[in-house]
Amino acid sequence: MTWQVLNPYDQECIGSVELVDWPQIDRWLDEARALHEDRQARLPAHERIAILQRASVLMRERAETLAMQIAREGGKPIIDARVETSRAIQSVELCIHELFASGGREIPMDLTQAGAGRKAYTFREPIGPVVAISAFNHPLNLIAHQVGPAVATGCPVLVKPAKDTPLSCKSFVEILYEAGLNEDWCRFVPCSDEVAEKMVTDPRTAFFSFIGSARVGWMLRSKLAPGTRLALEHGGAAPVIVDDSVAHAKVIPPLLKGGFYHSGQVCVSVQRVFVPRAELPDFAAELAAGAEALTVGDPTNAETQCGPLIRPAEVDRVESWVDAAVQGGGRLAAGGKRTGSTLYQPTVLVDPPDDADVSRKEVFGPVVCIYGYDDVDAAITQANALPYAFQAAVFTDRMSWADYCVEALAASAVMVNDHTAFRVDWMPFAGRRQSGLGTGGIGYTMADMSEEKMVVVNAPSSVR
């Protein structure tokens, strides 16, 4: 069996990958466990560093090819695909940096009489075979965030890409091979969902890294073998609180970027914006004008700012959610129409009903909702009312107001005067509640994929 890879813009086939069956994965899991258990087979840090350094060089040499591949298989505008490629290269280099910065620590023993005469220190060991399942929306950098740390920490890794975007993953794995990594340390594993579940829940899997839907992630977590560690990265419905002290000109541009970047197909995309009710008409008109000015179309064109959704069914879903919100009393300020099988206009909805899907669920499409508020505490309560909590944002010229909102918002990170989708690859990145479990970011993932071991030495101070 094969996966046919379609360009989401025109639905043309641009490639295919052969699916891997369970007997092959079963052999690879045996191989991965044996590699981990054979301490003589483990790659020393200097070899891992050299492999990652060579991989970084190869990626830089092929940066434009990698970016175009992202645009063609994932629909991300080429201007943003180039940024993703640059970030993926930096992610690999961050793995190297973390290896240089990593190390153990001394544990003081003589704090009580019981520990006197002893010395203790820690060091880290690879956790074991890693199974990674990734999402389509950042097909190269997400893979770098999952596979790079596994290679860096010395863990064998099996990686299953998203069905829609396997080519970038395949390219990254092949670059690692070309850089000197033996294939038994990293396996490209496109496979059916049933086979993937069997691989994830196998007791030989020591660590499970998942980026995707909450429904699938939490389901797989419930089936893990005893002892398997994991990290889950899901999505949310990111809230933004706007103060009446801040000029709209400081708010509209970042909201346009954070809401319509990759046509909203980002787990921390701006979705729910709360503005003072007196400012709602003007604010909505300005955001709508900005949305209507965005260029929608072929992601390989340099002028395109919003590309297609990943597949036609996603446009059907977004269209139905927006239509239902309008029928329920929400006002359409911009967009609200499909312009092709996978193209949907950047859309601004004003005061959609609280029980509408666009208000309660992650849209994962080019839709930003604006709500008027009379009291900031009421806005914060509404922002916190969902079972998701990831990144949030506050726009204000008053630091005291920002501090108040930062403390009150249910979020793992709050951006002040920036959009919710801001991220650099070394910062902690984590969802609360149903939005995830564990912390992403290169250094944090490397810590997850390794285990600290402590040594306590009974070392009397005198040899007499």
pLDDT tens column, 208-232: 999 999 999 999 999 999 999 999 9
19: which DSSP letter? P
pLDDT, tens digit, 9 for 90 and up, residues 85-100: 999 999 999 999 999 9
**Residue 464 confidence (pLDDT) above 60:** no
Q: Max CA-CA distance within the chain? A: 88
Same-domain pairing of 389 and 319: yes
Distance CA 40, CA 63 (A): 36
Instruction: Classify residue 421: in a domain, yes or no.
Output: no
The tokens 């880290």 sit on which residue?
124
Distances (CA, A) of 349 to 127, 244, 332: 47, 20, 5
Do 42 and 126 belong to one domain? yes
345 burial level (CB within 10 Å; 0-12, 13-18, 19+): buried
Does the pLDDT at position 320 exceed 70? yes
In a domain, 427, yes or no: no
Report which DSSP code applies to 267: T
Task: Give the total number of structural domains in the chain.
Answer: 2
The pTM (predicted TM-score) of the whole model is: 0.94
Q: What is the pLDDT of residue 103?
A: 86
| Beta bridge partners of residue 125, listed in sequence order | 451
The CA-CA-CA angle for residues 419, 362, 82, to 5°, reads 50
Residue 59: pLDDT band with limits 50, 70, 90: very high
Domain co-membership, 51 together with 139: yes
Pairing of strands 118-126, 106-107: antiparallel
Pair (230, 258) in one structural domain: no
- Name which of 349, 427, 362 is nearest 388 in CA terms: 362
Distance CA 440, CA 161 (A): 18
Does residue 428 lie in a domain region?
A: no
pLDDT at 462: 59
Instruction: Look up the domain containing 201 and give its range.
Output: 2-234+435-455
The enclosing domain of 293 has a CATH number of 3.40.309.10
If asked whether residues 100 and 151 sit together in one domain, one would say yes
Calculate the alpha carbon distances from 292 to 256, 281, 343, 408, 445 in Å.
Answer: 10, 16, 14, 33, 39
334 and 358 assigned to the same domain:
yes
Helix, strand and coil in the chain, % to nearest 5: 45, 20, 35
Q: Is residue 461 part of a domain?
A: no
CB–CB of 318/325 below 8 Å? no
Task: Tell me the pairing of strands 331-334 and 347-350.
Answer: antiparallel
Contact (Cβ atoms closer than 8 angstroms) between residue 100 and residue 191: no
In which residue are the tokens 């961050």 written?
94
Length of the chain: 464
On average, the pLDDT of the chain sits at 96
Q: State whether 129 and 252 are in the same domain.
A: no
Shared domain check, 356 and 450: no
Residue 56 tokens, joined: 């970084």
Rounded to the nearest angstrom, the gap between the alpha carbon of residue 379 and the centroid of all alpha carbons in its chain is: 27
Q: Does residue 157 share a domain with residue 29?
A: yes
| CA gap 260, 76 in Å, rounded | 11
163 and 279 co-located in one domain: no
- Whichever domain contains 439, its CATH number is 3.40.605.10
Full DSSP string of 333-361: EE---B-SSS-B--EEEES--TTSHHHHS
For the residues 227-256, what does the mean pLDDT come to? Answer: 96
As a whole number of angstroms, the distance between CA 83 and CA 31 comes to: 36
Confidence of residue 460 (pLDDT cuts 50, 70, 90): confident
Are 256 and 387 in a shared domain? yes
Q: Same structural domain for residues 27 and 77?
A: yes
**Residue 460 domain flag:** no
Answer whether residue 145 is part of any domain: yes
Backbone angles phi, psi at 379, to 5 degrees: -65, -40
Q: Are 423 and 429 in contact (CB under 8 A)?
A: yes
> Confidence band (pLDDT; 50, 70, 90) for 102?
confident
pLDDT of 171 > 90? The answer is: yes
Grouping H, G, I as helix, E, B as strand and the rest as coil, residue 106 is strand
